[in-house]
Structure 1
Amino acid sequence: MTPFQRARSDEQRLVRRQNILRTAAEMLAEMPVSALSLNELSRRVGLAKSNVLRYFESREAVLLDLLEESAREFLDEVGEPLRAQVDPSATLDARTVAVASGAAAAFAARPMLCELLSAQAGVLEHNISVDVATRYKQGARDSLLGFAALLRHLFPELDRPRSEQGANLVIVMIGGLWTHCHPAPAVRAVYDADPSFAFMDTKFEDALRGSLCVLLAGLVTGPAPLT
């Protein structure tokens, strides 16, 4: 363990926070959220747990910061390519398929983001203070509003309430599908042993693409959202 040296400046504190976040991201490439412990994170960062807690109040606070950062990067990286691959003069059905396919592929290429979204409400938003929850929700709100604006660009038929409802539902959908498409070992063994369960054993990208097609079509042509 490297002897702890207090960060003396805002820049040094930022560097240390970013190192903690980067290490957590590396761990999530190896393990699910449920297996990531503050003890192991501290060991890999090279600090005592008490010193990591100087920068983040809990494991959940670390992962919420990582989720906010990942969501912001997703929007920055995916928005323009998605606009480029959708022909605004195409039929509604064609645009729906194009957007659903592009968005599903983009999310599937970012497993850490999907893993964090799957744990957001049930795990990560617990064991945190009101201050951390407020800061996280402010960032999440900005990302959702940005995603809603992207949906309105791709589907001019959508008004703001429908696009915001859609952005929220996409995030909920991803969290649920990611969990169900990555079953526990015992459930995986059941699926592999009995072909009658094949319809329940869906690949994440395929399941998300199909679900997005249904959601997007419903948002554009269905009744106005309840308020």
Structure 2
Amino acid sequence: MATFHRARSAEQRAERRQSILRTAAGMLDEMPVAAVSLNELSRRVGLSKSAMALYFESREEVLLALLTEAAGRYRAETADTFPQWADPSAPAAVRARQVAARLAATFAAHSMLCELLSAQHAILEHNISVDVATRYKRASRDAIRWLGEQLREPLPELDDERALRAAHMVVILVGALWTRSRPAPSLLAAFRADPSLAFMHPAFTEAFEAAIATFLTGLIAQAADAT
């Protein structure tokens, strides 16, 4: 456990925040989001809970900051690749499936992002101030707008409004299907014991790819009908 002295400068404060975030990220390698407590986090970084409040108002704010950082890494790693996600000469429905496959693969490669998205509405958006909520939701809005813009590269049939809807659905489906693909041990045992329950335990990549491909294909058809 590290022992810190109070940060005096803006640079020291920023470094302290990053130390807290790195520690929280390490905890997520060991446990689910719901098990990350402010008590344990403060113990690991060597700060009292009252001292932690100088940097983050709650463990939810810490985890939302981690989510924002994880989303930033996803954007940085995929930003230049979207034009190559689909064969431009292929029919729209084929390109939708190709894009869906790439979305599934790239999100699956960012497990912390998926884990945090799965806890976003039920856990992370509670116990936060209006200031934190506003800051986070604005960052979320900008990330969704960015993804919508990227999706229009391989899928030019989507107008701005439909691309934004597609991007928002990507985020929703990642969170929902990541949770369902990682059930509690008792549920996992039940699924193994009764094959008729297997469809309730989807593999994340396959389930997400199928769901978002269907959604994208529907939006493309809708756009064609509107012209």
Place the TM-score, normalised by the shorter chain, in its bin: over 0.9
Matches for 1:204-219 after TM superposition, within 5 Å: 204-219=204-219
CA contact (8 A) 2:144 2:167 kept: yes
Instruction: Give the distance between the partners of 2:82 and 2:151, measured in 1 at CA.
Output: 10
Residue number in structure 1 paired with 2:28: 28
| Pair 1:13-2:13 in alignment | yes
Percent identity among equivalent residues? 53
Give the deviation of 1:4 after TM superposition: 4.2
Give the deviation of 1:81 after TM superposition: 2.6
Instruction: Give the distance between the partners of 2:97 and 2:65, measured in 1 at CA.
Output: 32
Give the deviation of 1:222 after TM superposition: 2.3
Residue number in structure 2 paired with 1:122: 122
Residue number in structure 1 paired with 2:47: 47
Query: Structure 1: which 4+ aligned runs deviate by more than 6 Å?
Result: none
Instruction: Give the distance between the partners of 1:7 and 1:57, measured in 2 at CA.
Output: 16
Count of residue pairs brought into register by the alignment: 224
Give the deviation of 1:102 after TM superposition: 0.8
The structure-2 alpha-carbon separation of the partners of 1:54 and 1:40, relative to structure 1 and needing over 3 Å to count, comes to: same
CA contact (8 A) 2:82 2:153 kept: no
Instruction: Give the distance between the partners of 1:20 and 1:2, measured in 2 at CA.
Output: 11
Give deviations 1:164-223, integer Å, cap 9, x for gaps: 111111111111111111111111110011112222221111111111110110111126
Residue number in structure 2 paired with 1:200: 200
Instruction: Give the distance between the partners of 1:85 and 1:171, measured in 2 at CA.
Output: 18
Residue number in structure 2 paired with 1:58: 58
Counterpart amino acid of 2:211?
Answer: S
Instruction: Give the distance between the partners of 2:204 and 2:4, measured in 1 at CA.
Output: 42
Question: Aligned-pair RMSD on alpha carbons?
Answer: 1.5
Give the deviation of 1:2 after TM superposition: 5.2
Instruction: Give the distance between the partners of 2:26 and 2:134, measured in 1 at CA.
Output: 26
Residue number in structure 2 paired with 1:131: 131
Instruction: Give the distance between the partners of 1:104 and 1:31, measured in 2 at CA.
Output: 23
| Pair 1:93-2:105 in alignment | no
Counterpart amino acid of 2:69?
Answer: E
- Runs of 5+ consecutive residues of structure 2 not aligned to the other structure: none
Counterpart amino acid of 1:178?
Answer: W
Instruction: Give the distance between the partners of 1:216 and 1:25, measured in 2 at CA.
Output: 33
CA contact (8 A) 2:2 2:44 kept: no
The structure-2 alpha-carbon separation of the partners of 1:87 and 1:223, relative to structure 1 and needing over 3 Å to count, comes to: closer
CA contact (8 A) 2:56 2:62 kept: yes
Give the deviation of 1:85 after TM superposition: 3.5
Give deviations 1:7-44, integer Å, cap 9, x for gaps: 11111111010111111111111111100001111111
Give the deviation of 1:87 after TM superposition: 2.0
Instruction: Give the distance between the partners of 1:218 and 1:77, measured in 2 at CA.
Output: 28
SS in 2 for 1:68: helix
Counterpart amino acid of 1:35?
Answer: A
The structure-2 alpha-carbon separation of the partners of 1:22 and 1:4, relative to structure 1 and needing over 3 Å to count, comes to: closer
Residue number in structure 2 paired with 1:170: 170
- Runs of 5+ consecutive residues of structure 1 not aligned to the other structure: none
